[in-house]
Structures are given as C-alpha cells and as structure tokens.
Structure 1
Amino acid sequence: MLVAGMLTACSAPAEQAKPSANTAGTSNATPATSTATPTTQTEKKVVDKTITLAVEAEPVSLDPQNVTDGNSITVQRAMFEGLLTFTDKMQPVPVLATDYQLNENATEITFTLREGVTFHDGSPFNAEVVKANLDFVLDEKNGMARRSFFSFIKEVVVKDPTHVTIIANAPNSTMISYLAHPAASMKSLEALKKKKADPTFNLDRNPVGTGPYQFVKWKENQHVKVAPFANYWNKEQAAKAESIVYKPVVEAGTRINMLKAGETDIITKLPTLNAKEIAEDKSFNVYKAPSLNVYYVGMNLKLKKYQDKKVRQAMNYAVNKDELIGGVLDGYGTVADSAIAPNTYGYAQQKVYEYNPDQAKKMLEEAGMKDGFEATLWTRNSSEFIAIAENVAMQLGKVGIKAKVQAYESGTLFDMLDHEKGTDLWIGRWSPGTGEVDYGIRPNFHTKSFAPDNNNSGFYSNTQVDKLLDEAIMTANKDEAMKKYAEVQKIIYEDAPWVFLHVPDLIVAKTTNVSGVMVLPSDTVIVNTAEKQ
C-alpha cells in the first residue's frame, strides 16, 4: 500500500516543489521544473489512452469561484490554474505567478506574473485578468459561492501587465494560502466579458482556464470530458492522456465494481471495509494517507460540568482512540495529536492523551464528579458518524459518563449547534479549506468565533489564545508566525475543549497501468500529468 502523495512511482508536477521561507520583503521564485518529458502519443485507439475517474457525485459547477465541494474541485483541476497552488504538504508555491512578495506589515502581496500563458480560448493571461477575476468574485451581484472566501481583499491594483498587488482590509499573513486555493483559479477575461454582456451566459457550464486540459463536454448525470490543450505553457508538464473522463457514481460499491470490471481507472473515496481487498489485488494500487479532517467530541463549556479542565482532560483519557480507529475505521486513521491534522501547514505535534481509564476516574473524582454524570451526544445521521458516536459513548460509560447518542440530519445538527438548542456534547469534524493553521484553529477556538457567527459552538475562550492568533495573522515573518501558532496548539491541547479523536485516511484506488496520479490531503485527486500505458 502506498502512502506518499503520488500513486505509483512517478515524479511530482513541477509546481509541487517546496518553496523557500517567505519573509517580509523577500520573494518566492518559481521552483525548478521536472526534467521528465511528455510521452509521445502512439498510434493506438483513443479509448486506450483515455483515463476515467469514478467520482462520488456530479460536479456542482465547473466555475472554480462558484463551488465549495471537493468533488467539483477534482473535476476542475486539470482545466484551471491560479497564481499559486498547494504542494502535497499544503505549502503554497507559484504557478501562474513566478514570484511574490508580502510587505512588512502583511497588508499587501505583489505578484510577478508568468509571461506567454494563454487561455483555452486563445486570450492572454496578464495582470488585468487577475484583477477582473478577483473583482468579479467579490461583486455581490454576481452571487459567487466563494465571495466570502475572498472578503479579506480590499483592492486589486494593476501595476503593469506582469505585476499586480492585492491589498488586504487588515494585516493578514494567511492570504497567501487563500490565493493558493483552487477557488483562486483564473478564468478567461473573454469569458467574464461574455457574462457581463449577457447575464444568461453560464460560466458554470463554460469553463475556460489555462490548464493542460480543456473542456469538451458535460453530459448531465453521465460524465464530464476534457482533452489536451495544445498551447499549454508548460511543455514539460503537458497532458499525456488522450482525454480524461469524470463519471459521477454515488454508490461506493458501484465504483468498486466498475474498477474491477475495467470500466474506470481511478475511484475516489474507497470505503475502509474494501480497501484491504483491493490492495491485495495486483491489478490495483491503493493510496492511503492522512487527510486534513480532524474528528472530535465538542463540548459546551457554558455547562458547569465541563468548566473544570480536569473533567475535560479526564474525557480525553477515557477514550481509547486506537480502539476507535481499529473498530470503526478498520485501521485507516491516526490519533489526533493536535487540534489540526499533520498535513495542515503550521501543524505542531502535541503529546497525546494516552488511554488511561484509571487516570480518567481519578481526575473526575478530583473534580467532584466521582460518580460521573449524564450527557447527550449529538451526531450526524450517517452510518460513519453514528458508529463513532456509539463507540465514544460506550467508552465514556466505562468511567461513569453516561452519554445518550442522538442522531440528526447534518443541516439540522448544524442549526442546533449554531443556535445553541440544547448543546451538550457532539461529534464534530473540521478541515481547513485553505490547508493552513489559522483557518484550522481560529473558527473553532477564538472568542470572536462564537456561534452562530462561526464554528466555536462550545464557547471556548482563552485570552492568550486570542492574543497569539491575532498577533500571528499580522506577522509577515513566517517563522515568527509559526512559533505563535505552535504555542496556540499547545495551549488548546492542554485546555482540552475537545476530546481529540482521530484523523481519517484518504483512500483512493487505481489500476496499475495508470501513473502520475496525485492526491492532496484536501481530498483532491489531480490527474494533470497522469498517463495510461
């Protein structure tokens, strides 16, 4: 079983090289490109070179600024590029930019743009395109799903055709990661002009990017097809497949059967129950690695029973996370040793609460709760979340904490948490879309992030955490900022406002005759340089 960022032995794309530290007034230059050259197309039938992916759902849209789901991003990635992208370690590196500089007070970032890049419609990429894209997504009347994602932007200033400056509303060193997110991919200026001239023009169905593949067709409920873009700027990373076809297949069992029958080359979200079986078949490769998701038990700190830190720490000692991972996840996960996952940029490992029910009972007694207490444990009504909740409830019961599991549809549960409709305990899951520490922590633990405005439904408040978070986001020097974020993680893990459970693995399977497939911790499957033998 492979555990690296690439499925099978193949080199990472050029833009996946690690950047140097980016401090105030310094720059990040484009990383060196791979020396591998594109495979020459042979005289075979087109179907032999077509790579098929069975994904869990149809894309919501093919406009990167108008989706929030990972499945849509997977389908878009071969067609679109942004100024920056993420490495397999979720570090931002340049793509359509060749260099960037963050000013000393972290309020402005200036990009030097790559020259000679054209969109699939033949129009040029330049600074005006960058401004037009960001202005468009920020314009409320355009109704883009990612508008709030870019709300940190005050203004976009074109210096000249190859230089553009993005000015933030306030000091924000994390905007680099926001601009590496797929939502910051660039669309053709001509496409934006068409939309402005004709409001009925559908950007969701007419994607025009700069990527190695260009849009061919979207057949409703059947597939999205893309084909190589002949004028792609990076010849060393040009398309190697005849075409790529993304098929929406909701049922995991059906995706597995398609893989076995040769009807698809890659399947996403392989269930843990089937992973070992597929991995043992020499016809397939299985990729597994930690995701960005952290599962936890949240608790309402307004309730007196959770206000003593000893109680919260006792609950962490009471849950055997290894047993949970083995019994519910079939072993495909790791113990959460911070409030964020290891692949999150800025992660700092903490000493885990090892399973120790005797210690848990002792701490409960010290907190005046020798006989334990009753609690309600909310969870989503999916089989996975219910299984996790039942396992946790069983283990808490062994130290006297009698937790009653109640399952709700996810939308209902979120509404209950947002508006404190009897919040006690709940099974939560969090993944930072930006892949970096600030968005992994701030929405859950800053005092200003109390529900319903944000995700802090447990009403955790620590003035030192607030202070460090606010200082870190205003610090342009990455090393200094990371020290502050590391201290925040230490404080939070010690305070134990959550029972820190696990980080589940991503599991993707493919046929052995396909190489060059990459899976990001954000659960995005990238086939830009994939090749089928």
Structure 2
Amino acid sequence: MTNALLSRTALAAIFLAGFSAAGSAQDLSIALADDPDALDPVTNRTHVGITVMGVMCDGLLTTDEDLNFVPVLAESWSWSDDGLALTMNLRQGVSFQDGSPFNADAVKAGLERALNQPDSQRAADISSISSVEAPGEYEVVVNVSEPSAQLLSKFAERVGIIFSPTAIEETGAADIGAAPVCAGPYAFDERVAQDRIVVTKVEDYWNADAYAFDTVTFRVMPDDSVRLANLQSGDVDIMEKLDPSNVDVVEQDPNITVEPVAVMNNQALMYNLEQDGPFASADVRNAFELSLDRNAINQVAFGGRYLAGNQVTPPNSQYYDPATPMPERDVEGAKALLEQAGVEMPVEFEILVPNRPLSVRVAQMMQAMSQEAGFATELNVVDFATTLQMTEDGNFTAWGPIGPQFANDPDAVAFQVLHSTGSRNLSRYYSDEMDALLEETRTQTDPAERVEVFHQVAALAAADEPVTYLYHMPQIYAYDSAIEGLTYTGDGFLRLEGVTRAE
C-alpha cells in the first residue's frame, strides 16, 4: 500500500511538473500587414516574408542598427588582395532544423541555387559570383568576376539565409517555400493562408538560451486599424507598420511602446513602359510628377512622419544627389509638358493600387492633384498578392505607391528596380546608360567614388522618370510595453535574441 501511495504521489508530481512547464510556455504574437509569399530566400519578393524568415533563420551575416556587418553563421571573412575572392569561415557545430549538418557544402549549394534556379529573385543581386568553392568543411570561397562592393550586404540579407540541401532534395526547390528548413532558432510548424504562420523553438539551437519564447505566431492583419486594435486588446504583442497618423495617440498609452526605425527605402509610382499610350513619353511621366505635392502627401497621409523625396534614396542620405532637388508642385508646368507631348486631353490614366489603407490614401491624393493638371486618373484597388501577378504579367499602366521597403545598401533599392536585369524592374525600363552606371556602383570599391556614381544614377532616373519617387518610410513598430530587449537589424527587421516579456 505504501508503494502504491508512493507511486501515485510520484505520478502526481510528474503530472504537476508537466502542467507547470506547459503553463509557463510562452508565445509571442506578431501582427503582419500582409500575407507573405513563399518563405524561400531565393524566390521571396515581400517584406513580410523576410520578417518571418528573419525570426526563423540565421543568415551568414546580419547588420546592427548602424548597418555594420555582424557575424552569425559566417564567423569571419576576408577578401583577397585583388578583391576577386571572398573567404568565409563558418560557425561549427550547427545543424539545420531537420538535423542535417550546416557546413561549407550546404552554403555552396545555397549560393548556387540563388544564382541558377530559374525563378530566382536573387540572381541579379549576386551576378558577379563566378564560382563557389568548399575547400574545407567550414570554409567557403566565393569567387567573383569583378570587385563587388555590394556582395557582403547581400550575404547580410536573403542570399545569406541557407536552406537544408536535404530538405530541398526531399521537397523540391519549387516547393521548399511552403515548408522551409533553415538553421535558426525557430522551426516552421504550420501556415494557414491569410491567417497565421506558427514557428516553434529549436531546443538544440546553438544559441537557444538567448530565445525566451517557445512559439512565435505571425498573424496576418492587412487592415492597420485591426492590427492596432489587436495590440491594444492584448491579442498580439508586436505590430508592424503602425499608421503614422495614429502615432501621437498611441504614444499616450503607457501600455504600448512606439518605435520608429529609420530604414533606407522608397515608395514610388512605377510605370509600365512597354504599354502603348501617353505614358510611353517621359514628358507625360514628368508632367504627372509636377502635378504632385509630395510634402502635402506626407503631411496629410502620414502626419508628417515620413520623408518626402524624389530619388531612390532619401534627401538625408549621402547617396542623394543635391543637384537634382525635389521639384515643387507646378500645375501649369505639368500642362505645358502635356501640350509639348501632343497628347489628347484629358490624359486617361489608371493606377493599380495595393489594397492597403495608407496606399489607397496616397493614391486618392494623387488622383485629385493630377486631375487639376489635365489627367483623368482612375484607381484600381486590388489586393497586394494580385497586384504582384498583374504587374508580372504587364497588366497595368502604373502601380503604386510601391517599392522596396528596406535596404542595407543602396544597391538593393536601385539596381533591382532600374537595371534592365533587375528582379523588380517591372517598369520594363531599359537604358544602356543606366545599366552601365548601376554596374559601376557594384565594381567601384572606393566609397567616395561610389557615392558620386549613385548621384549620376539619381540624375538619370529623374530625367527618364521610369518611376516617380514619392516618399521614404521609417518602419514604425508598436508593441506591448512588457516586451523588453527588442532590437532591429540595420534594414529594420525584428531581432528576438535576448527579448523577454516582463512579469
């Protein structure tokens, strides 16, 4: 009887211990503004996809808030004297989330996939790579055909996220984004389209003690007010992209912390230059630009919290060309350009607008302003995922406001949009002069000379006007004030290392 009693007591103790452990499990909930596309660093095109992968996966490098490179899976690196070979020494003892080893062969396979997979969105970013070698188990040598000023920045972004070659072989490269397997603190668990993505802590992760949460749930909430309401009610812990017009009010809530994070990015109107019609003329595109008051858009749509601008980089950037300043609104000048172009008035014009409240707000202001200058502007508001497909198919006249929302180097906001081979050149803008300048920004390793070449890029883009740059956004996060230790990469993504929730 005593033994039986002891056994029951022991069983109860085990049960209570298990209950206590389950009760102490912590979930962190993050509200996203969009449903990500494929969670695959090679094919991903969306900002929110990187938010999720950045929580799940380590990269070769990352950046601190000042855009300094920080080692992660590559512990050290060095360039050869001629600048044509980059040697990276990898962290040892790391496994992918399927248990297979992270090593030089895996990195070689990942970089080659980014270069060679037919639907890769990264190939143009790293086109200077001529070959990748794995001379040792934890040593990778990346050979380039020419000096590559932008390459390390790519390894601190999506290119540096390496997936398990074993998982890719089993799942298939085309489908790995639906069930991603990387090396990092959180493993993919489930995804419900338009609703949530759940990742769970990897207990044998090399730096597991630095991660306090057992699960992280990303909840898809495109409506800005819905994200905020869920934060205020405590249903989510962190939200991205707080509507800037709400900042003043939300900052008064002692239970919520608001944190704007300065990031290199731009939002613009992108024209389809292959489509017949008046917007094939640079005069008409420049006329549309002159019809706009960027400062008024910033004040009315964003409460003055964004930064109006007319170039690929913001006016406070060293890469901004001061000789090409933002033009003031000039309705009569816009009409004169339309007359010079010889187009029929009013100029019929449709803007494809992502169905986001802030984007629609800006588009409505552009519609009203441009109509005063002789445009008959219509808006076609469509969900974001559909706009991606429509623009890929060339089924649009103009698209926006849209643009790269982050960068750790100006190459990421310039080359991919303005170079003829750029993965986001959906304007179908082809200029030999622009291509040559952008290629020089990659091979020019003298920082001052590189800045000057970017100035020339800005001046040419302003003359040709394949896109009309509008404004630059800080990433405005809001989160439960009980969340402590939150930091960000230099391109504005969440870092959960060391983050806790105060009791």
TM-score, normalisation: structure 1:
0.72
Distance 1:175 1:434, change over 3 A: farther
What residue number does 2:477 align with?
508
Q: Which letter does structure 1 place at the counterpart of 2:56?
A: M
Matched, 1:134 2:134: no
Distance 1:105 1:276, change over 3 A: same
What residue number does 1:4 align with?
none
- Following TM superposition, by how much is the alpha carbon of 1:157 offset from its aligned partner in structure 2, in angstroms? 0.5
Distance 1:160 1:308, change over 3 A: closer
Distance 2:426 2:188 in 1: 43
- Following TM superposition, by how much is the alpha carbon of 1:110 offset from its aligned partner in structure 2, in angstroms? 2.0
What residue number does 1:270 align with?
242
Is the CA contact 2:351–2:396 (under 8 Å) kept in the aligned structure 1? no
1:457 to 411, 414, 427: 427
Worse-superposed segment, 274-283 or 58-67: 58-67
Is the CA contact 1:379–1:427 (under 8 Å) kept in the aligned structure 2? yes
Distance 2:448 2:280 in 1: 35
Aligned-partner SS, 1:322: helix
Distance 1:78 1:135 in 2: 24
Worse-superposed segment, 74-83 or 294-303: 294-303
Aligned-partner SS, 2:86: strand
What residue number does 1:165 align with?
141
Q: Which letter does structure 2 place at the counterpart of 1:355?
A: E
Distance 2:237 2:500 in 1: 11
Distance 1:122 1:364 in 2: 63
Matched, 1:258 2:230: yes
Matched, 1:182 2:152: no
Distance 1:209 1:122 in 2: 10
Is the CA contact 2:114–2:159 (under 8 Å) kept in the aligned structure 1? no
Q: Which letter does structure 2 place at the counterpart of 1:392?
A: M
- Following TM superposition, by how much is the alpha carbon of 1:509 offset from its aligned partner in structure 2, in angstroms? 1.0
What residue number does 2:295 align with?
322
Distance 1:430 1:70, change over 3 A: closer
Q: Which letter does structure 1 place at the counterpart of 2:221?
A: V
Aligned-partner SS, 2:477: strand
2:309 to 333, 336, 347: 336
Distance 2:161 2:304 in 1: 36
Q: Which letter does structure 1 place at the counterpart of 2:62?
A: T
What residue number does 2:14 align with?
none
- Following TM superposition, by how much is the alpha carbon of 1:246 offset from its aligned partner in structure 2, in angstroms? 1.3
What residue number does 2:217 align with?
246
Distance 1:433 1:52, change over 3 A: closer
Distance 1:396 1:56, change over 3 A: closer
Deviations 1:233-263 (A, max 9, x none): 5x9xx42424242142435444333322223
Worse-superposed segment, 43-52 or 350-359: 43-52
Q: Which letter does structure 1 place at the counterpart of 2:231?
A: L
2:48 to 60, 71, 75: 71
Is the CA contact 1:48–1:532 (under 8 Å) kept in the aligned structure 2? no
Deviations 1:477-516 (A, max 9, x none): 4443333223322343355554331123422210111122
Distance 1:110 1:342, change over 3 A: farther
Distance 1:60 1:299 in 2: 23
Q: What are structure 1's unaligned runs of at least 5 residues?
A: 1-42
What residue number does 1:431 align with?
404
Distance 1:195 1:358, change over 3 A: closer
Q: Which letter does structure 2 place at the counterpart of 1:175?
A: L
- Following TM superposition, by how much is the alpha carbon of 1:434 offset from its aligned partner in structure 2, in angstroms? 5.7
Deviations 1:255-312 (A, max 9, x none): 3333222232212233345443322211101122455542334457786787576x76
What residue number does 1:517 align with?
486
Distance 2:21 2:386 in 1: 53
Instruction: Describe how 1:46-195 pairs up with structure 2 within 5 A.
Output: 47=24, 50-56=27-33, 64-65=41-42, 67-90=44-67, 92-103=69-80, 107-115=84-92, 117=94, 119=96, 125-135=102-112, 140=117, 153-168=129-144, 172-188=148-164, 192-193=165-166
Is the CA contact 1:68–1:146 (under 8 Å) kept in the aligned structure 2? no
Instruction: Describe how 1:338-417 pairs up with structure 2 within 5 A.
Output: 338-341=311-314, 347-348=319-320, 350=322, 352-357=325-330, 360=333, 364=337, 367=340, 374-380=347-353, 382=355, 383-398=357-372, 400-407=373-380, 409=382
Is the CA contact 1:105–1:474 (under 8 Å) kept in the aligned structure 2? no
- Following TM superposition, by how much is the alpha carbon of 1:333 offset from its aligned partner in structure 2, in angstroms? 1.7
Distance 2:393 2:191 in 1: 41
Is the CA contact 2:42–2:113 (under 8 Å) kept in the aligned structure 1? no
Distance 1:171 1:75 in 2: 32
Distance 1:164 1:147 in 2: 19
Q: Which has the higher helix share?
A: 2
- Following TM superposition, by how much is the alpha carbon of 1:437 offset from its aligned partner in structure 2, in angstroms? 2.3
Q: What are structure 2's unaligned runs of at least 5 residues?
A: 1-19
Is the CA contact 1:99–1:112 (under 8 Å) kept in the aligned structure 2? yes
Is the CA contact 1:80–1:210 (under 8 Å) kept in the aligned structure 2? yes
Distance 1:349 1:511, change over 3 A: farther
Aligned-partner SS, 1:82: coil
TM-score, normalisation: structure 2:
0.76
Distance 1:358 1:507 in 2: 33
Is the CA contact 1:105–1:475 (under 8 Å) kept in the aligned structure 2? no
Distance 1:483 1:44, change over 3 A: farther
1:226 to 186, 191, 200: 200
Is the CA contact 2:239–2:477 (under 8 Å) kept in the aligned structure 1? yes
Distance 1:185 1:216, change over 3 A: closer
Distance 1:297 1:229, change over 3 A: same
Identity level (%)? 21
Distance 1:458 1:393 in 2: 24
Q: Which letter does structure 1 place at the counterpart of 2:496?
A: V
Distance 2:399 2:37 in 1: 29
1:475 to 425, 431, 444: 444
Instruction: Describe how 1:20-31 pairs up with structure 2 within 5 A.
Output: none
What residue number does 1:39 align with?
none
Is the CA contact 1:518–1:527 (under 8 Å) kept in the aligned structure 2? yes
What residue number does 1:14 align with?
none
Distance 1:259 1:68 in 2: 27
Deviations 1:2-43 (A, max 9, x none): xxxxxxxxxxxxxxxxxxxxxxxxxxxxxxxxxxxxxxxxx9
Distance 1:381 1:76, change over 3 A: closer
What residue number does 1:16 align with?
none
What residue number does 1:492 align with?
461
Matched, 1:295 2:264: no
- Following TM superposition, by how much is the alpha carbon of 1:376 offset from its aligned partner in structure 2, in angstroms? 1.3
Distance 2:183 2:458 in 1: 39
